[in-house]
Structure 1
Amino acid sequence: MLLSYRSLSVAAVFSLSSLLSAADNPFIGRWALTIPGGGAGWLGVESKDGALTSSVLWGGGSVVPTTSTKLDGDTLIVTREQKNKEGKLNATETITAKADGDVLKLTTAKKNAAGKDMGQPQEFTGKRIPAVPAAPDLSKVKFGEPIQLLNGKDLTGWRLLKEGVDNGWSVVDGILQNRVVKAKDKHFGNLRTDAEFEDFNLKTEVRTQEGSNSGIYLRGIYEVQVMESFGQPLDSHHMGALYSRITPSVAAEKPIGEWQTLDITLVDRHLTVILNGKTIIDNAPVLGCTGGAMSSDEFKPGPIYLQGDHTNVDYRNMVLRPVVK
């Protein structure tokens, strides 16, 4: 079919308008969210070939792509679908946002599969995350005196992240162990240090149990995954990964029941992970919080916290050296 000159002109103007609007789009970038209820979230908005795309982290779980992203005047509209394990639609969530400089004001509303409202719309906020700086020269970074986080005797210096949950953590024969009982009336907790830290190097040993799924949260924001994944393909959810964000470059896990070493360095929002002597993440930029983060604010000190709500796991010899500025 031949297009008229007028049609071509309209198409050209529309294309130019789309490119200009993308360049001037105040929503493009990464946003730290405080989602309804106060949890940590994240939104990333990009422009590719004149079209908007986005991904989102909502409290727990992984960073996932959204279903659609579009502009309506000065409003960003993001839609994401929630499906069950069989792929059947459970709900559709629509997030709308307005930008005021580096601040977002957002609203979320859900409809079930039949298109009926699920509760009232909820308001929440977001803040633009500054660009990640250049990768630091780790050979020039100075570290302070080592801090022994585990005393091999008891839980001194540690406490449950939340009160009112079951405590599966104890020290046995010098080993910090978590033991979880699967029951409907049991809800086991995560364990955090009393002390809070900024940038640092952290060395520890970990021993997975059958089906282990734990994690080491750096500053309570970024989870380095601890999982029984020996012999499995590379994945951003496996041992040593930055959960759902950075996939290890090589599989370096040991079989279940063997002690494994983790050497983790966090400097200027860049992460290095050495697992069992092999560098699996090499000074890579970290683009935002991970699921289960205490906060989406990447610029304040926070604790080391160990995920204990899932399964059994053991830790020992945990030593932290803070960056000296």
Structure 2
Amino acid sequence: MTLFTSSRTFFLGGILAAGLSASVFAASPYEGRWALTLPNGGAGWLGIEETGGKLQGSILWGGGSVVPVQEVKVEGDTLKVIRLSKAKNPKTQAEEQVTETITAKATGDDLKLSTVKVKADGKEFAQGDFTGRRIAAIPAKPDLSKVKYGEPVTIFNGKDLSGWTLMNPQSDNGWSVVDGVLQNRVEKGKHHGNIRTDKEFEDFNLKLEVRTQEKSNSGIYLRGIYEVQVAETFGKPLDSHNMGALYSRITPSVAAEKAIGEWQTFDITLVDRHLTVILNGNTIIDNQPVLGCTGGAITSDETKPGPIYLQGDHTNIDFRNFMLRPVVK
């Protein structure tokens, strides 16, 4: 998914990765990380921190990236988050500024929020109410040498799409199996869909192979929440939107992708909200904490098991040789 470019390293990692509880945040009841359920039911995320005596924030609104907001302030018992964006005037086609104000009130670990956008002419639109819940502190970093795995679970039989379901039944299905390869082929003018496993998982190790096509832009969603990026980025500078990144959250430590058309190996481990990604034999994300859902997640609730889902709504992509081993608690 390539909708917004930012390689910023987001905050709260040091504090929350240490496993401190939410009670540490004494300055404001709004500091911390919040899982959002947006007005349309989609998954979102809000992070608030204090830096130099001033509140700052970043937000994920459905798809795309985690991005900084313009302003964060608390008035009485109410949080206000200001976002600025651009929109085309339908009459003049000129870009005009849109100001969105999100207000929130906390009751313990729960948020009640509302949003409204204001056009340059002062007209309000896109009003909506939604909810949020404080995200629990990230557990301590797991010792992966002591993690035990169960027997492999078959998620792709190499013959057909048994065990996989198109996530939106109204979408065009570009997925098929050819010579043991799970491939997606898109056609101009059609809206192609993502697919997911019927089975759901908690923590696991997942191995697979992928082959990019021209301008490939896909993703492997872990538990339907966290996207490991799959993209044709060979030869490009390191970025949190490149091959193997946790989309817009964790930038690979090295560029390990191969050239277009070559089969590439992924070895992905998710344990206690910590992610390890080995791409083509190179560890590019090393047991790092995951601070929240990524764009396109089916839920912002990180406590739930979920499917493996593959993004197919953008471009052509090939997958094969899946092997998933669940963690044994």
TM-score, L = length of structure 2: 0.89
Find 2:41's aligned residue among 38, 49, 63: 38
Query: Given the alignment of the two structures, is residue 173 of structure 1 paired with residue 179 of structure 2, yes or no?
Result: yes
Q: Secondary structure at the match of 2:298?
A: coil
1:106 pairs with 85, 102, 113, which one?
113
Q: CA deviation at 1:92?
A: 1.3
In the alignment, is the contact (CA less than 8 A) between 1:237 and 1:243 conserved in 2?
Answer: yes
Secondary structure of the residue aligned to 1:202 is: strand
For residue 191 of structure 1, what is the aligned residue in structure 2?
195
Query: Retained in 2: the 8 A contact 1:197–1:219?
Result: yes
For 1:101, give the aligned amino acid.
Answer: G
Alignment partner, residue 60 of structure 2: 57
SS of structure 2 residue aligned to 1:147: coil
Q: Which residue pairs with 1:148 in the alignment?
A: 154
* Aligned residue in 2 for 1:275: 279
Asked if structure 1 preserves the Cα contact closer than 8 Å seen for 2:197 and 2:308, the reply is: yes
* TM-score, with length taken from structure 1: 0.90
> Over aligned residues, Cα RMSD in angstroms?
1.3
C-alpha distance in 1, partners of 2:32/2:59?
A: 12
Secondary structure in 2 matching 1:62: coil
Q: 2:50 aligns with which of 24, 47, 51?
A: 47
Secondary structure of the structure 1 residue equivalent to 2:64: strand
Unaligned runs of 5+ in 1: 1-21
> What does residue 17 of structure 1 align with?
none
Equivalent residue for 1:137, pick from 137, 140, 143: 143
User: Structure 1 CA distance, aligned partners of 2:229 and 2:96?
Assistant: 29
How far did residue 29 of structure 1 move? 0.2
Match of 1:14 in 2: none
1:1-325 maps to which residues of 2 (within 5 A)? 23-83=26-86, 88-119=95-126, 121-183=127-189, 186-325=190-329
Other structure's SS at 1:215 match? strand
| Identity across the alignment (%) | 72
Q: Residue 139 of structure 1 aligns to a residue in which SS?
A: helix
**For residues 257-300 of structure 1, what are the alpha-carbon distances to aligned partners after superposition, in whole Å with 9 as ceiling and x for unaligned?**
00000000000000000000000000000000000000000001
SS at match of 1:182: coil
Gaps of 5+ in 2: 1-24, 89-93
2-structure distance, mates of 1:161, 1:143: 28
- Contact 2:71 2:82 survives alignment (8 Å): yes
Cα pair distance change 1:263/1:89, threshold 3 Å: farther
State the Cα distance separating 1:113 from its structure 2 match: 2.5
TM-superposed CA distance for 1:23, in Å, is 3.6
SS in 1 for 2:65: strand
The letter for the 1-side match of 2:36 is L
Cα distance in 1, alignment partners of residues 166 and 193 from structure 2 = 6
**Post-superposition offset of 1:133:** 1.1
* CA distance in 2 between partners of 1:181 and 1:236 (Å): 28
| Cα distance between partner residues in 1 of 2:46 and 2:96 | 22
Structure 1 residue 162, shift from structure 2 partner: 1.3
Please tell me whether the aligned partners of residues 81 and 89 of structure 1 are also in contact (alpha carbons under 8 angstroms): no
- Distance between the aligned counterparts of 1:27 and 1:100, measured in 2? 10
